[in-house]
Chain A
Amino acid sequence: MSRRVVVTGMGVVAPNGVGLPAFLAAIQAGVSGIRFVPQYQELNFSCQVAGTPEFNWEGLTNYISEVSFHGLKATNIGYGIAAALDAWADAGYEYNTDTPRWDTGCVFGNSIADTEAMKNVITKVDNKEAKKLGSRVVEQAMNSGVTSYISGRLGLGNKVVTNSVACATGTQAILMGYEYIKHGYATRMLVGSTEHVDTYVYGAFDSMRVLSRKFNDAPEKASRPMSLTAGGFVPGSGAGALVLEDMEYALARGAHIYAEVRGGATNSGGQRGGGSMTAPNPEGVIRCVQDALRISGIDASQIDLVSGHLTATMADKQEIQNWATALGRRGSSFPMINSLKSMIGHCLSAAGSIETVASILQIQHGFVHPNINLEDPNPEIEEIINMDCLPTKLVKKEINIVAKANFGFGDVNSCLLFSKI
């Protein structure tokens, strides 16, 4: 049994826009969501900027009961709930149900529990006050917290899975949901991912010296993928979510269809052949993209837009080289390519889902969002692809097929292909 899978709903909590209309306007206008964080200066971090959504925490009572809201401390879970429930409503569905929705599952990813929220737990336990922790800690400390809140609120009764593959988490979650529907295990899957880069996770990345540290006084300039002055990534937080449906089911109910998920692949470079804990094996990346194309039945020449991983580190150039090799396209025959991270930073586990929402908006509205902060493109990248492929301003253009990929620590890769229906 093989079914076609379509996207019928989307939700997003991004540093440069919360909710689809705000996010669409921001990515069209090239609005940066990167801000200076005074606390990071006080903590002596080298990088002192971040992408944090302007999120109304109290507004979560529009999604979950006051009883559930009371005691909710984990920021990553809050973002995930908002994005997922917005996507569900966007697909035209009600939240409430008396019986489980047996035909609908959830694959939602994240990195770790909110360490800032967990600090209170550590302090109480160390003070011999574990008795005061209460009933709400475990559900937020567990990695499956976010999927539990989402699936519980909506009564999702099919496969409920929490995935985690670092920066490839979001794209992999969407791929898994797609595969469950494609193979007939579920009719609908609510998929996506969430990330809250708390102070402690941020500090650990800062210590690795992989963050942008030279633009603390010009935060909107700090995330500079593919530029000569790119000096590391800017951590971002947020969540993205999609409702995937069996196409026949979606058509039968007259749903609005954003795009079709044509297929995808996820693999690992095995931390061999130049791959390591922190760097991808180029062969793994190339195989992942080519497998995704084969599974999708799409020829590389058909791709209109690549939504890259492109974090603004030394790895950008190698990524462009990998895409060029995988697609067999170079110079002026390379497709358009952009990095949403230039506007929102690197949202780690949430990157893939937020960037997928952006990819699908570009298909829906026929545009390529700008790469901001690319006044000084890296000449080594110019040797591989023509600069016309790297728009620095909004380009209005019909987009039929988008390739979206992310690559994560652990040498894990995920690639998805979307098309107009």
Chain B
Amino acid sequence: MTRAEILEELKTILKPYTVDKELLAGINDNTDLIKDLKINSANLVDVIIDAEAKYNVEIDYDSAEEMTNVGSCIDIIMKKLNTSE
């Protein structure tokens, strides 16, 4: 799975938690989930749970804490996918 593919899927995962859904069209590695997408910090947990379900991986607490922007989300998901394979 490529970074571009995960980025597209990430848009779907982030959508329920993003108030202004139009912002999702233009996300890139540097898009910050809280600062740019205005996602409530409490909802980051839900983003991680949804990502775990989507990719059938387990994202530990330490990895989850690194998932602050789109790029780091993709990094962690790819890393977990590779470990599970």
Contact = CB atoms under 8 A, between A and B. Distances in A.
Interface residues of B, number: 13
Nearest to B53: A132
A134 B45 contact: yes
A65 B45 contact: no
A392 B42 CA distance: 54
A71 B46 contact: yes
A67 B49 contact: no
B46 A134 contact: yes
Contacts of B42: 135
A131 B49 contact: yes
Interface in A133-147: 134-136
A137 to B, nearest CB: 11
Interface of A: 65-67, 70-71, 131-132, 134-136
13 contacts: A66-B16, A66-B19, A66-B21, A67-B17, A67-B18, A67-B40, A70-B16, A131-B49, A132-B53, A134-B46, A135-B42, A135-B43, A135-B45
A70 B52 CA distance: 18
Interface string B37-70: 0001011011001001100000000000000000
Nearest to A65: B19
Most buried by B among A71, A134, A136: A134
Interface of B: 16-19, 21, 40, 42-43, 45-46, 49, 52-53
Nearest to B46: A134
Contacts of A131: 49
Contacts of B16: 66-67, 70-71
Contact of B19 (A67, A71, A136): A67
Contacts of A135: 42-43, 45-46
A132 B17 contact: no
